Structure 1
Amino acid sequence: DLKEYFRETEAQGLKGTRQAQRESYGWWRRLRWYQKPTIAMVNGWCFGGGYGPLFSCDLAFAAEEAKFGLSEINWGILPGGGATKVAQELMPFRKAMYHAMTGENIDGKTAADWGLVNEAVPLAQLKDRVTEVAKVLLAKNPVALKATKDAMKRVGVMSYDDAEDYLIRAQEAANSYDNEGRKEGIRQFIDEKSYKPGLGAYDKDKVKA
């Protein structure tokens, strides 16, 4: 709990602080680059350190009644543990500054409006909505999904030319892992005309083993 985290870590000095940081940052890093798509579902309170796993997930949905906050300023510290970076990365600059400097809470609907989550729905609908999105992702080619989520996270810090080069290599790597899946998607679209990419995914169950 918070008492254990702060008091015991404080008693261990800098060594304890660094160990706690390595552990928590390591968890979020593993989640951020996880092999499969990840979805955060926020149904209650999400404060400070909770922004780490929130950001690490590929998608995030919240109940309109959920509460988000960077309360660190209210007890005399800055929002550490990556929370400041999360706010700055996901929110418009002025919104992020207000959020961090005032320590005021925002609800799920505002979090969606400010870009902290993808979407906010009434609490009673939250699980169904997340399940619906998960089923959409489940129908996609898993190799393409992993390549796509990694690419979206990496190209943001690249120049356009560097991103072009990276994406060429990423596609080549994905093809080497699942060339049959790519070919099947093209076959069903071009030859069978059994689906339209703009309206849905190809039937990956037809891919030859």
Structure 2
Amino acid sequence: MNYETLRVDIDNRIATITLNRPNKRNCMSPQLHREMTDLLEKLRYDDNVSVLVFTGAGEAFCAGMDLKEFFFETKDSPARFDEIFRTACEWRGRTLRYYPKTTIAMINGFCFGGAFSIVEGCDLAVAANNATFGLSEVNFKLFPGGTVSKSLANLLRPREALFYALTGRPFDGTEAARIGLINYAVPASELRTFTMDIAQEIAQKDLTALRATKDGYRYALEMSWDASINYTLAKQVELKSLQASMESGDWVEAGINDFLKGEYKPGLETHGQSAQRRS
């Protein structure tokens, strides 16, 4: 997995993906979009990876789109712009949202414009208190286009979304947590440890159950009450079937039955952890 715009490190079932254009504050170029698309496809089928963590090299998470390469250099080539635009929208707007593995944004610095869709597409997000967020599009006579307006609508209340989109004002990680853009804001010195602790906790769970959890939530957003209930009932049957051949057993015969036998407390620990401690 050798890429020019990305770094990938895999450890303890966690793949840390670092946007690696520090001299450009990790803004997203056409090459980065293509490389990210390729990487996500590879990690989708990597059995050694359960959780993906996204961060940025240097002092930035991601400063949004590379305005020169993405917009200016394609202004006379509609076909080239369309190809890049679709690639950029696809991995942030659909691939991340429905990815079969848990995704976490670890926001270490500047996070602007199109980077909001990376944050929104991920399942969870943690930022440094002093990270800087902003929707600066209006400052150069644009608006939050592509996937960004939808990302704002998905996550934020109208007042906050419109305030920051209309003023272009920057805000910090503490404010990002207050308005619901991220889960937590922590001191920069604690960001990696805090985020990786969450990632490791999730990586210990059953991978098929994690995927079903995401599917149940994501698709419920698009369904009626009755459709969602029918979908999750079918999902329970599918999950039991997928887990049946696993050494750890399925959620009924192992998950519930071991609880009834007093072998673990699901409100306090993950199935299998008690056995690991006893061994």
TM-score by length of 1: 0.92
Instruction: For residues 9-35 of structure 1, give each alpha carbon's deviation from its aligned partner in whole angstroms, at most 9, with x where no partner exists.
Output: 1121x3222111111122222222222
Partner of 1:144: 209
One-letter code aligned to 1:54: V
- The one-character-per-residue Cα deviations of 1:130-174 (angstroms, maximum 9, x if unpaired) are 111011101211100001012111111222111111111111211
Q: 1:87-140 CA deviation, whole Å, 9 max, x = no partner? A: 121111111111111111111011011000011100000000111101110121
Bigger CA drift: 38-47 or 155-164? 155-164
* Matched residue, 1:117: 182
Aligned equivalent of 1:25, options 89, 98, 113: 89
Higher relative contact order (CA 8 A, sep 6+): 1
* Corresponding pairs, count: 204
1:196 aligns with 2:196: no
- Which residue of 1 is the match for residue 163 of structure 2? 98
1:78 is the counterpart of 2:147: no
- Give, in angstroms, the shift of residue 198 of structure 1: 1.3
% of aligned pairs identical? Answer: 39
Task: Provide the rounded CA distance (Å) in 2 between the counterparts of 1:205 and 1:143.
Answer: 20
**Gaps spanning 5+ residues in structure 1: where?**
none
Give the CA deviation at 1:75. 0.9
Point out the more displaced range, 23-32 or 105-114: 23-32
1:30-45 equivalence runs, <5 A:
30-45=95-110
SS of the residue aligned with 1:195? Answer: coil
The answer to which structure has the higher strand fraction is 2
Are the aligned partners of 1:141 and 1:181 in contact in 2 as well (CA < 8 Å)?
A: no
Give secondary structure in 2 for the equivalent of 1:79: coil
Give the secondary structure class of the aligned counterpart of 1:32: coil
Partner of 2:70: 5
CA RMSD of aligned residues (A): 1.6
Matched, 1:16 2:80: yes
- Is the 1:10–1:16 Cα contact (8 Å) retained in structure 2? no
Whichever structure has more helix as a proportion of its residues is 1
Can you list the C-alpha shifts for 1:50-90, whole angstroms capped at 9, x where unaligned? Answer: 11211111111100111111111111111012111111211
Match of 1:175 in 2: 240
Q: Which runs of 4+ in 1 moved over 6 A?
A: none
